[in-house]
Structure 1
């Protein structure tokens, strides 16, 4: 995708995908998103100042500020007092916890630390029809399929199955996933240039089958929380299907509703 146009606001904005009748700041927001998607500014890097962007688009600084305010509220950009505005990264504490909803009953996430990851499987396969549909692929396209167990304090707590579009995650290995010490989404940013910006989840209660019970070290038919997530990068492109089974004897699923 092309970088942000340097021409005047009128012609440049009229060519953008955003409808011409949308507010001017929304059109500026759409153009900044295009540049983020194109990789002009990488996660963790500073974007140009509001003054520079105002000159680039030939709009007022206030219009640019309003666009950036919305992107910051959506955790796509991060303002740092006295330093400027940066592309948010999943290594940042506040962004990391947007996608981590399983909380310990005792203590907090900081005291619990990162989970221990055991990757049981990581292989390229042809996408089954349902997986292909949810990732906007064609049936039979290549996907990377991952199965792993996440443990807290040596207690297996989460069993996850992940499917990732093969075209974007070439070369991903079990060793790479198990050995990365930060959040998985941060690894996707750093190693593959894929940034998850939002997710949709479906949650239901299920009973553990024999295999799941063995991997999570619980009795057969133990109630588990099933969480199916589709995570998206810019422009609502699906980049991950994740199905997790959560033990809730020592943890709970926490969500904030605003």
Structure 2
């Protein structure tokens, strides 16, 4: 990665006059450094779970102060993109870490919490490659008819089918994804996406509404068609706000509830 140009050093103007026209006027220096670190994350310079260079090394690399680097890293850590470990350094956050896993898991058991609940049992109903319908293509920033992978699965807790999900993924990015791969991975699905496809989901947007399941959906969830379920549509993004997953789920809420902490 190239260093910042000399005039950007902690806001110092060059000797003998005003700053040149190309000098950044609207973005604080730490935000520029944040952008450069994000660029490295996006292009895989540091993989999920790996340590990034120290603040001193990054300060030398970008020719800025350690305080500027620290502020950039603080923001990235607050956004769950980096993780600080006392005495060990700063690491690229990964969905294999428990504190990150539960950032995207919002359905909690009525008694206890997700950390005390046994992992969900996954039943893959289908995993196929097909052409994207218009709504799926629009969500994933593809063209109608582009290849996507569709996965349909049921997640059960303590033997009770609780979540029915349809997942769509860009076909070119997730080429080769199979039902066996989805079923056999023991950890979080997003961790498998990181490990096997180099894709890290960094944020998501969700829409919720109450609906009634159709006959087939009710059968998969072992409920009647008159039982309301929570419909959750999620669009998950990787770095640079690139959409990488459209997920539509139906959640039973007789033993679980949807929980979101606002701050």
Q: TM-score interval w.r.t. the shorter chain? A: over 0.9
Mapped partners of 2:207, 2:58: distance in 1: 39
Structure 1 residue 143 corresponds to structure 2 residue 148:
yes
Mapped partners of 1:70, 1:153: distance in 2: 38
Structure 1 unaligned blocks of 5 or more: 14-18
1:124: how far off? 0.4
Residue-by-residue CA offset, 1:181-206 (whole Å, 9 max, x unaligned): 00000000000000000000000000
Structure 1 residue 167 corresponds to structure 2 residue 172:
yes
The match for 1:186 is: 191
Structure 1 residue 64 corresponds to structure 2 residue 64:
no
Residue-by-residue CA offset, 1:92-114 (whole Å, 9 max, x unaligned): 11111010000000122122121
Which one of the candidate residues 233, 237, 251 is aligned to 1:232? 237
Mapped partners of 2:176, 2:209: distance in 1: 33
The match for 1:213 is: 218
Structure 1 ranges of 4+ moved more than 2 A: 6-13
SS of structure 1 residue aligned to 2:235: strand
Which one of the candidate residues 43, 47, 58 is aligned to 1:42? 47
Structure 2 unaligned blocks of 5 or more: 11-23
1:222: how far off? 1.1
Structure 1 residue 89 corresponds to structure 2 residue 86:
no
1:11: how far off? 7.6
1:73: how far off? 0.3
Mapped partners of 1:12, 1:126: distance in 2: 49
| Structure showing greater Rg | 2
1:5: how far off? 1.2
Which one of the candidate residues 111, 117, 129 is aligned to 1:112? 117
Residue-by-residue CA offset, 1:38-74 (whole Å, 9 max, x unaligned): 0000000000000000000000000000000000000
- Contact between 2:8 and 2:29, CA under 8 Å: does it hold in 1? no
1:21: how far off? 2.1
Structure 1 residue 80 corresponds to structure 2 residue 85:
yes
1:9: how far off? 4.9
- Contact between 2:234 and 2:247, CA under 8 Å: does it hold in 1? yes
TM-score normalised per structure 2: 0.93
Mapped partners of 2:25, 2:195: distance in 1: 35
Mapped partners of 2:43, 2:71: distance in 1: 22
Mapped partners of 2:92, 2:140: distance in 1: 25
The match for 2:228 is: 223
Report how many residues are paired: 250
Mapped partners of 1:82, 1:117: distance in 2: 38
Structure 1 residue 244 corresponds to structure 2 residue 249:
yes
SS of structure 2 residue aligned to 1:172: coil
Aligned-pair RMSD on alpha carbons?
1.4
